[in-house]
Each structure stands twice: as C-alpha cells, then as structure tokens.
Amino acid sequence: MRLLYLRPLMDKKTTQIVKELLVKPQNIVVVGHKNPDGDAIGSCLGLSFLLNSLGHKATVLMPNDFPDFLKWMPGVDDIIIYEKETQKSLDILEQTDLIFTLDFNSLDRVGDLQKPLENSKAQFVMIDHHQQPAAYAVATYSDVSMSSTAEMVFHFIEAIGKSEMLSKEIATNLYTGIMTDTGSFRFPSTTPTTHRIVARLIEAGAESATIHQNVFDTNSAERLKLLGVALNNLNILPDYNTAYITLSQKELDEHNFKKGDTEGFVNYALSVSGVVFAVIFIENKHENIVKMSLRSKGDFSVNHFARNHYSGGGHNNAAGGKSSQSLNKTVTEFISILPRYKDELTHAS
Ligand SMILES: [Mn+2]
C-alpha cells in the first residue's frame, strides 16, 4: 500500500524522463563529489544497488578517497576511485550511457574528474539538495529543502515505482546518508517525512544502532587528541555571536592527521551557548591554502558568506570555503569582515 505521506516528491516530468532512460538495460556510472561524505557515498551506493537490481550495470565512481569511518558501508569495496584508478575510470566512462551525479550540482565539484565528465557523451541525471544547480542534466531532481541526497534517492525510488526493491543494502546506505547529513536527525532540514523514511529504511533492514556505532565509535586516540587541540584553540567573539577554531599544519602533523579526522570539529564551536556562526580554519601546506568549514544556526546564511568571501558555498547552515592567505592572515581578515554582518549575526534566531 502506498501511503499518502510518502507520495513521490520528484515531479512528473523528471520522473517520466528518468523512466524512459531506464527502459532498457544501461551502463551507468553514479558519481559523488570530491571528498565524499556519508551522504555522497550512501546515496551513490544506495542508488547503484537499486539500478543493478533493475538489470542495469551501475558503477560508483568517486573523485578521491573517503574517510575510514565510512568504509564498512555495503558495496564500498566496489567503488572506483578516480585518483587511484584513473585509466580504469576513464575506460568505464567511455562505455557509459548514463551518468547520475549525486550530492553536488556543478561539474566543478568533482576535482580532476571534471574534464572527463564534461567530455563524456553520456546523458546526465542530477539528484541533489544544494543551491543553484547548473544545467547539465537531461533530468534534474533538485530540492534545497531536502535533508540529504539519500532522502531524495528514496523519493526517486518511490517516484519510479520501485519501492518494493528496497533491500537491506539500499536501506543501510540511505540511512547512513540521511543520518550523517542531518547530524543524527537534529538539523532543521529533518522533517516528519525524513523520519517516516527512516522508519521505512529500518523496516527494510537498516540496523540503526549498528550504523551509529560504525560511524561514530571508530575514533582513533590521535583524532581525539587532535580534537583536544582544536578545542583548546577555540575563540569566541561575543560581539558577533561567532566562534572559530584554528588548526595549523604543525598541529595536524603532530597528531598523525588523516583525511576526515577533523570532520565535525566545527560543530563544537557552534554548540557554544549564544553562538550562531562557527568556523574552523584548517591549514593545508601541501595545497597552500586554508580550508574552512562554516556552520550557522537560524537565518544567517553561511552559503552566502562563503560564496561572497571564500570562493565556496553549500547550504544556508553548512558551507565550505578556502583562502590562499596564511592561517594568521585568513583569521585576521575573517574577523575584519564580521562588522559588516553584525546586524544579521546579532539578530539571527
Ligand atoms: Mn548531502
């Protein structure tokens, strides 16, 4: 029985196009963004399990590697990483009829994979919840109100009438995507529909306690000590309801930093009472940049802020950016920009 509250949210026209693209078996590549997170991996794997069970040949392709705390997810061993297996990736792309791009909406989000994707003769389908989607796909399912791309993949499966295909593998991947992108179901984008979907995923075999353990209880001692350093470097700017954290390359090196280790650190800054805007500045001497993760509560748009000042972007409450200045200069400059936003920051709710 299809319940009313789970009516497909992907529109009729997009659904029709996608259904036609999938009428006969296709070679499909499912691509996530650079530095893939739980939602990118979960939505891509979930969709590829569905496509394979529908008789297509779907391969998940990621621009580069992803953190260890995601490496238990069903199907991860079959993911092709462009940075590691470049020629194999190009060969697969050559044979591809259809490319799904998930959890990003502009081809400059895939690093070195950008050119191969731009040169591909395949047709594109986009499923994504970031702002300002580019127009490269024959079918674009874009909804910025969605908690996660994984939630959208669920709606996609409903829309094309394949919800009976929901397997344990699909459910586990989609659950992980939704859980990681909603901060364990607590960000404002988490709706009653999100929870209903999560219930369906648990019914289909997703083991919530195990998934939480797999993702969150895998800290290395080094990572926790690095978190200690980050918390020690926490600065509060009460006039602007803002908090920031810095991590220098030296501090990272001293704690045997691995990709993904600083994931979530910025949320501690945002958790300070009264703070509505939080940033972590992470020095990267190899790329000669300072990477920034920006978070906010309420109306203050970090997407806007990152786009305006740090050639980045993302969502209203979570965005990324970068600076090519030194760590110190980046922080000084950041503080000097804040007065322009004082009204917004002090009236944000
Ligand atoms: Mn996402």
Reported for 257-262, long-range contacts at CB under 8 A and 24+ positions apart, including other chains, are 257/222, 257/226, 258/67, 258/68, 258/220, 258/223, 259/35, 259/65, 259/66, 259/67, 260/66, 260/67, 260/68, 260/69, 261/67, 261/220, 261/222, 261/223, 261/226, 262/226, 262/230, 262/293
- Do 313 and 258 reside in the same domain of the chain? yes
CATH number at residue 93: 3.90.1640.10
Q: Separation of 47 CA from ligand 1 center, angstroms?
A: 14
* Domain C-terminal end among 153, 184, 216: 216
pLDDT computed for residue 67 by the predictor: 87
Same domain, 180 and 227: no
> Rounded CA gap, 185 and 212, in Å?
12
Quick one: 14 and 132 in the same domain?
yes
Smallest CA-to-CA distance from 102 within 140, 65, 70, 57 is with 140
| pLDDT reported for residue 349 | 54
Same domain? 166 vs 287 = no
Domain match, 133 and 83 both: yes
The pLDDT of residue 174 is 98
Q: What's the 182 CA to ligand 1 centre distance in angstroms? A: 9
Distance from residue 146's CA to the centre of ligand 1 (Å)? 9
- Confidence grade of residue 195 (pLDDT, cut at 50, 70, 90): very high
Query: Contact, 92 vs 122, CB < 8 A?
Result: no
Q: What is the pLDDT of residues 152-170, one digit of tens each?
A: 999 999 999 999 999 999 9
pTM of the model: 0.85
The CA 181 to ligand 1 mean position distance, Å, reads 6
Q: Which pLDDT band holds residue 1 (cuts at 50, 70, 90)?
A: very low
The stretch 32-46 carries a mean pLDDT of 97
Same domain, 187 and 251: no
Average pLDDT over residues 325-337: 98
Residues 210, 246: one domain?
no
| Mean of per-residue pLDDT scores for the chain | 95
Position 7 scores a pLDDT of 54
What pLDDT score does 2 carry? Answer: 43
Is residue 321 located within the same domain as residue 197?
Answer: no
Residues 155 and 89 in one domain: yes
pLDDT above 60 (res 5) = no
Q: How far is the CA of 329 from the centre of ligand 1 (A)?
A: 31
Q: Are residues 43 and 113 in the same domain?
A: yes
CA of 147 to the centre of ligand 1 (A): 7
CA of 119 to the centre of ligand 1 (A): 25
Q: What is the pLDDT of residue 260?
A: 80
Instruction: Report how many domains make up the chain.
Output: 2
End-to-end CA distance of the chain: 41
Tell me the per-residue pLDDT of 273-326, one tens digit each, with 9 for 90 and over: 999 999 999 999 999 999 999 999 999 999 999 999 999 988 899 999 999 999
Domain range holding 109? 4-216
What's the CA-to-centroid distance between 336 and ligand 1, angstroms? 31
**Ligand 1 center to 5 CA (angstroms):** 22
By DSSP bridging, strand 235-237 and strand 139-142 are unpaired
Residues 188 and 229 in one domain: no
Ligand 1 mean position, distance from CA 39 (Å): 5
Tell whether 313 and 233 lie within a shared domain. yes
The answer for residues whose C-beta is within 8 angstroms of residue 124's C-beta and 6 or more apart is 98, 99, 100, 101, 136, 137, 138, 139
Query: CATH number for the domain including 242?
Result: 3.10.310.30
Of 216, 245, 271, the domain-final residue: 216
Q: How far is the CA of 264 from the centre of ligand 1 (A)?
A: 14
**Residue at a domain's end among 198, 216, 234:** 216
